[in-house]
Copies of this chain bind each other. A is one copy, B any other.
Amino acid sequence: MKKALRFFEQTKPVTFKYYKPEKKVLGRTMEQQLRFAACYWHSFVWQGLDPFGGDTFQRPWHAVGGDPMKQAEMKADVAFEMFRLLGIPFFSFHDRDIAPEGATLRESNRNVRKIGEIFEKKMRANKVGLLWGTANLFSNRRFMSGAATNPDPEVFAYAAAQVKNVLELTHELGGKNYVLWGGREGYETLLNTDVGRELDQLGRFLSLVVEHKHKIGFKGMILIEPKPAEPTKHQYDYDVATVYGFLKRYGLEKEVKVNIEQNHALLAGHSFEHEICMAHALGIFGSIDMNRGDDQLGWDTDQFPNNLPQMALAMYHILRAGGFKNGGGLNFDAKVRRQSIDPDDLLAAHADAMDLCARALLIAEKMIDDGELAKQLDARYAGWKGKLGREILGGKVSLAQLAKHVEKNNIEPQPRSGRQEKLEALVNRYI
């Protein structure tokens, strides 16, 4: 524990300007509305590598030649020290983030469980909860051609075994959700890929996970995290709409929700708000990975969020639909830049992001309290509350009847202004 204390220069919990955990916002405390989580991988596992460069961080627990389990413990010490300093209520992890891979899966699982026991104590001691757990089914070379969608069924079985372990650990640690990100469930070239078959494999896998969840009594959500590509050329869970179709295809649309990430939305050609709204419209909104991509770059930069108006709109759409439910939350799937090598850069990045999210929440609260945006939206569709609108949506009129109606009444609808600029200015008034 002392080692952890010495990692960060800062020793006292950070203070915030906007984030007041106990402050009420739209009927819940800020802590309840935001449900912040820090992720294990970016902050404690990543060494600062990029495709053209090596370790810049040189964290003590990455020292070459060290005892992997000891290093895992040191890492856990530092991680919980950061959670304590931030006063962050949740965290999230992959199995491979927290414990080293062993010679066999049995040993790997044992390592994971061992750290899980340490977590259990630290979580209780620090009042930190687990937002979600997940299995890393993409880093090891055995998964290079996919996990559930691998051409080798033994890889499917291996992945299943790994998920079982993490799902159960997540359950035991009181985890709120379990996430599946299909990093290798996709293809590099259609020349060696049977898309239909692989989708069936993926559907089967997900069904097995859902069955097991019920069997062990896990009440949290099963979440799929959409991403269009990277590392694969194409990832099957491309975006929210694609995941929805997939869930419908395999009859899982009531069992599984989505965990939406800003940067993944961007890579799929969407805004963050788009994915949030689409998930709500389709009834599969679950949780979010708050970060940001770079508008000019074509890969997952996973930066800490910093564009206040965009964040406020994301929060607005979440709050409009009732906020996080069923255990969803806001996970910082973000990493400090590889040049931010000071330990306290980690701390500051999280603290500033939390504060900015709180600020965005307060702006979203104003938008909702004021009600003008919602009022204008309702007014725009008011026509659909009339007789014709209700008949159409109620399935009371046929194409032929509608045609007759138009011709008979010589209907010539007149367009009305969409008022986009005024609405955008209205949003800026809340900032």
Given contacts A53-B143, A389-B153, A411-B157, contact A190 B274 (CB under 8 A): yes
Q: Mark A328-365, 1 if CB is under 8 A from B, else 0.
A: 00000000111111100100110010001000000000
Q: Which of A399-424 contact B (CB under 8 A)?
A: 399-400, 402-403, 405-407, 410-424
**Of all chain B residues, which has the CB nearest A351?**
B425
* Interface residue A245 (Cβ < 8 Å from any Cβ of B): yes
User: Which of B295, B349, B425 meets A295, CB within 8 Å?
Assistant: B295
The verdict on A161 contacting chain B, using a C-beta distance below 8 Å, is yes
| Residues on the B chain within 8 Å of A4, using CB | none
For the complex, what is the distance from the CA of A50 to the CA of B306, rounded to whole Å?
27
Contacting A345 at CB < 8 Å: which of B183, B380, B411, B421? B421
Which 8 interchain pairs have the tightest Cβ spacing? A298-B298, A245-B245, A339-B418, A196-B281, A352-B425, A161-B403, A349-B421, A160-B402
A182-211 CB mask vs B (1 if < 8 Å, else 0) is: 011000111111111101110010011101
Q: A395 vs B206: C-alpha distance in the bound complex, in angstroms?
A: 12
Known: A140-B54, A281-B196. A348 touches B422 (CB 8 A): yes
Are B398 and A297 interface neighbours, CB within 8 A? no
Given contacts A188-B339, A339-B415, contact A424 B306 (CB under 8 A): yes
Say yes or no: A144-B306 contact (C-beta < 8 A), given A192-B380, A389-B153, A393-B201: no
Q: Within the assembled complex, what's the spacing in Å between the Cα atoms of A341 and B144?
A: 10
A141-B54 in contact (CB<8A): yes
Q: Are A152 and B411 in contact (CB under 8 A)?
A: no
* Interface of chain A: mostly helix, strand, loop or mixed: helix
Q: Is A219 on the interface with B (CB-CB < 8 A)?
A: no
Checking B297, B377, B398, B420 against A229 with a beta-carbon cut-off of 8 angstroms, the contacting residue is B297
**A399 partner, pick from B212, B428, B431, beta carbons under 8 A:** B212
A414→B336 CA distance, assembly (Å): 19
A241-B245, A298-B299 in contact; A403/B165 too (CB < 8 A)?
yes
Chain B residues within an 8 Å CB radius of A304: 421, 424
**With A157-B402, A298-B299 as contacts: A423 and B189 at CB distance below 8 Å:** yes
Q: Using a CB-CB cutoff of 8 Å, which residues 228-276 of chain A contact chain B? A: 228-231, 233-234, 238-239, 241-242, 244-246, 248-249, 266-271, 273-274
Chain B residues near A274 (CB-CB < 8 A): 190, 234
Tell me if A323 is interfacial: C-beta within 8 Å of chain B: no
Cβ contact within 8 Å between A348 and B54 = no
A377-B192 contact in complex given A51-B300, A163-B399, C-beta closer than 8 Å: yes
Please tell me if A106 contacts chain B, counting CB pairs below 8 Å. yes
Bitwise, A373-401 to B at CB < 8 A (1) or not (0) is 10011001101101011001101001110
The CA of A183 and the CA of B50, in the complex, are separated in Å by 12
Q: Is the CB–CB distance between B337 and A421 below 8 Å? A: yes
Is B307 a contact partner of A307 (Cβ separation < 8 A)? yes
Contact pick for A417, options B194, B298, B339, CB 8 Å = B339
A150-172: CB near B (< 8 Å → 1, else 0) gives: 11111111101101110100000
Q: Does A105 contact B (CB under 8 A)?
A: yes
Bound together, the chains give a CA A356 to CA B429 distance in angstroms of: 10
Q: In the complex, A181→B55 CA distance in Å?
A: 21
